[in-house]
Each structure stands twice: as structure tokens, then as C-alpha cells.
């Protein structure tokens, strides 16, 4: 994967970085860990600036974040609650839990969005509950921007500092991202298996 990503970044510069991060946010299997670390490495060669790479990556990611927020907000709270009434087991969510989540999100949603932006996989998904539960756009944008800029800056700075050693670092980054994905899948399976028990409670 690295070769075509590197080629795109080299040929398209900041626009390529922004485009890749937009895709990564809309289609999570393209990992931001690889994109921004490669972009940071390119900055270390002098072909791009570190600040420009961070700005471009953050802008692309924020565009994707806002896309999912608007889609989820358009779908709406009421329709989503109806969906959980029909397909709650697959979603592992009871309609009552939607009400509970709304109350929690109204109070703590900003922090959840900000922290979610630095957690692999959750980075993209956190936009959905924020939209469905109608978090204000301004609040969503501010907290998303804080988390997104922090994440892209850390990855780009790591790629910049490592330089040619980036390939060695990738061997450690990818297993961590995979581990987080495994935990998310296990969490889903647990909620699926305990759905009836939670409904009775």
C-alpha cells in the first residue's frame, strides 16, 4: 500500500495528503497512521513542510468528519430509535439506551468527540452518534478540530522525526491499530450475546 500512497503524496503534495485523509475518514480501512506518517517522512526530505502537511491532513479529515456528521444528522434521532426497535440485536442497542446515550452525549459529547479523534477506527465512527443525537455543529466542529489536529500532528511529527527509520516504526504501528480493531469486534460480540439480558435489566 505504501508505494501508491507515497507516489500520490509526492505527485500531488498537500492536495494529495488532504484527499487521502478525507478518504481515510469516509472509508476507515485506509489508515491515517500510514498516510500521515508517510507525509511526515516526505516533509523530512524537504519536499513538503511539516506545518503544511499537518494543515492539509487536518483539513481533509475534518471534511470527512463533517460529511458523516451531516449524513447522520439528516437521518435523525427518531428514525434511528425506530431502527433500534426493529434491529436492536444486530445494532446491539436498545431504544432505551438511545435515550440514555442522548442524555450522556448532551453533557459529555464534546469530550467524547475530541478523544475519539485520536482512537483508531473510532476516529470516523464518532461522527455518527454526534450527528444522530444532534450535537450542535459548532461544538462538534471545535472538538473534532482539536482531536483531529492533535492526531495528525503527532503522526506527521513521528514520520518527520523518524525519517528513513519510518519503515521500522510501521511494524509497531500496524499491530496496535489491529489490536484496537480486535477489541472493538470483541466488544460488539459481547453486546450481541448479552442483548436479551440487558433488555430485561
pLDDT beyond 90 at 106: no
**Residue ranges covered by each domain of the chain:** 2-78+86-200
Whether 4 and 30 have beta carbons less than 8 Å apart is answered as: no
Q: What CA–CA distance (Å, rounded) separates 55 from 24?
A: 16
Grid cell at residue 103: 442524555
* Comparison of pLDDT for 165 and 149, the residue scoring more: 149
Helix ranges restricted to H, the chain = 2-26, 32-44, 50-75, 77-91, 95-116, 122-125, 127-132, 137-162, 166-193, 195-200
* Comparison of pLDDT for 104 and 151, the residue scoring more: 151
Whole-number pLDDT of residue 123 = 75
pLDDT beyond 70 at 177: no
Mean pLDDT of 60-88: 87
Q: Can you spell out the DSSP letters for 123-173?
A: HHHTHHHHHHTT--HHHHHHHHHHHHHHHHHHHHHHHHHHGGGHHHHHHHH
Q: What CA–CA distance (Å, rounded) separates 52 from 58?
A: 10
Whole-number pLDDT of residue 22 = 93
Amino acid at each position: 500500500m505504501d508505494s501508491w500512497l507515497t507516489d500520490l503524496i509526492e505527485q500531488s503534495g498537500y492536495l494529495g495528503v488532504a484527499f487521502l485523509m478525507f478518504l481515510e475518514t469516509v472509508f476507515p480501512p485506509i489508515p491515517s497512521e500510514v498516510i500521515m506518517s508517510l507525509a511526515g517522512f516526505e516533509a523530512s526530505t524537504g519536499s513538503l513542510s511539516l506545518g503544511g502537511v499537518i494543515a492539509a491532513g487536518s483539513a481533509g479529515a475534518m471534511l470527512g468528519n463533517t460529511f458523516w456528521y451531516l449524513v447522520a444528522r439528516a437521518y435523525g434521532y427518531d428514525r434511528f430509535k425506530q431502527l433500534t426497535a426493529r434491529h436492536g440485536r444486530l445494532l446491539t442497542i436498545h431504544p432505551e439506551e438511545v435515550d440514555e446515550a442522548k442524555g450522556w452525549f448532551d453533557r459529555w459529547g464534546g469530550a467524547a468527540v475530541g478523544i475519539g479523534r485520536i482512537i483508531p477506527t473510532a476516529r470516523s465512527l464518532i461522527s455518527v452518534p454526534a450527528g444522530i443525537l444532534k450535537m450542535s455543529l459548532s461544538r462538534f466542529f471545535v472538538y473534532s478540530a482539536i482531536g483531529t489536529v492533535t492526531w495528525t500532528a503527532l503522526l506527521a511529527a513521528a514520520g518527520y522525526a523518524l525519517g528513513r527509520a519510518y519503515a521500522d516504526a510501521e511494524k509497531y504501528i500496524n499491530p496496535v491499530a489491529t489490536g484496537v480493531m480486535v477489541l472493538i469486534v470483541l466488544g460488539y460480540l459481547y453486546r450481541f450475546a448479552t442483548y436479551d439480558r440487558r433488555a430485561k435489566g
